[in-house]
Amino acid sequence: MKIVVLAGGLSTERDVSLCSGAGICKTLRERGHDAFLLDVYLGFPYDSDKLEDVFTLPGAGLEIAEGIKTTEPDLAAIKASREDKSDCFLGPNVIEICRLADIVFMGLHGDVGENGKLQATFDILGIRYTGPNYLGSALAMDKGIAKKIFKMSGVPTPIGTTLKKNMKDTPLSQLGLSLPVVLKPCAGGSSIGVFIAHTQEEYDEAIQKSFCYEDEIVIEPYIKGREFAVGIIDGKALPVIEIIPKTGFFDYANKYQSGATQEICPAPIDDEIAEKMQRATELAFKALKLDVYSRADFLLDENGDIFCLEVNTLPGMTATSLLPQEAKAAGIEYGELCELIIQKSLERYSI
């Protein structure tokens, strides 16, 4: 098949996306597909009469993936580097190349890649893509909306609320919360912009910093506990994986720097607790109207209670990312996982 692996963009998770996309693209080419890695924002300035040739170019577009740095990308520099200086999110020839493909493998993370906007655009244009539909993507990306859906559907999740920038001076007591708390962007990812505040001083500082990322944030009680994730494919939960950062919590640096975090799959927990997480993952998947695949993140507190924090609709897809590790524990190797995602995504178009 001719496959565009779409990555990059203007999300704070840009580097992660490019790394995921490179892994996917390499694997698909090894398995006989004509795959090409394409940056959704920078596009591919190329002779429009020869766009069909991109699928057989020797480099496969892989030169755009430079690895994941310890800090988030400089998005202003990315914008400045675009040749056409357009303010359009879709770069040169992106739509044209995607229309030539049999399917677009969505290797994007965060922002437009996961919030349903691009999926809706592709639906209108008749472009087939992998991963969840536009509605499920939109619902899951907004952590405030997802939390409300979790509560209505019986998915265990921390209590909490959303706060808009124009109300940032509202005292915690008026929000029904007390210290310590966690603050995070309503639609962010990779733990960028996540703060834990134990004191009023830390809270005031976190409030100022949080609103540098978005105009709405989620505030919820800080829950001390162990961190887990559960992937899901076609409605069926994979084995649970435990995430053990060497220091702090599973933030941006701990997520993507080698040796910063230990990950164990299957997780060393009681079968009953593992099954609760898996059932909660399947329930959240259904409640958010998702399809194909995703990954839910959990905390397990000292009392043995589980809390679903969020659902990632396009989770990391490097060979050592959480979802591929879980799939491997279920007997699905990385290349097979990429093929399975494509297969299940194509089934959506044959109904």
Spell out the per-residue pLDDT of the chain, length 351, in tens: 999 999 999 988 899 899 999 999 999 999 999 999 999 999 998 888 889 999 999 999 999 998 777 677 888 999 999 988 898 999 999 999 999 999 999 999 988 899 999 999 999 999 999 999 999 999 999 999 999 999 999 999 999 999 999 999 999 999 999 999 999 988 865 456 789 999 999 999 999 888 887 899 999 999 999 999 999 999 999 999 999 987 655 444 444 455 668 999 999 999 999 999 999 999 999 999 999 999 999 999 999 999 999 999 999 999 889 999 999 999 999 999 999 999 999 999 986
What pLDDT does 351 receive? 67
Judge: domain 161-221, CATH 3.30.1490.20.
Answer: yes
Of 36, 33, 32, 35, the residue nearest 44 (C-alpha): 36
| Mode of pairing for the β-strands spanning 2-7 and 103-106 | parallel
Strand intervals (E) in the chain? 2-7, 34-39, 103-106, 161-164, 181-185, 195-197, 216-221, 225-233, 236-237, 241-245, 261-264, 293-301, 306-312
CATH code, 140-156+224-348: 3.30.470.20
Cα separation of 205 and 199, whole Å? 10
Q: Where in the chain is the domain with CATH 3.40.50.20?
A: 2-129
3-state secondary structure of 6: strand
Q: Where in the chain is the domain with CATH 3.30.1490.20?
A: 161-221
Work out the angle between the directed axes of helices 134-141 and 117-125 (0-180°, nearest 10).
Answer: 170
What pLDDT does 221 receive? 96
What pLDDT does 83 receive? 87
For residue 269, the 8-state DSSP code is: S
CA 165 to chain centre: 24
Cα separation of 253 and 71, whole Å? 7
What pLDDT does 254 receive? 43
Name beta bridge partners: 116: none
3-state secondary structure of 46: coil
CATH level 3 topology of 2-129: Rossmann fold (3.40.50)
Length of the chain: 351
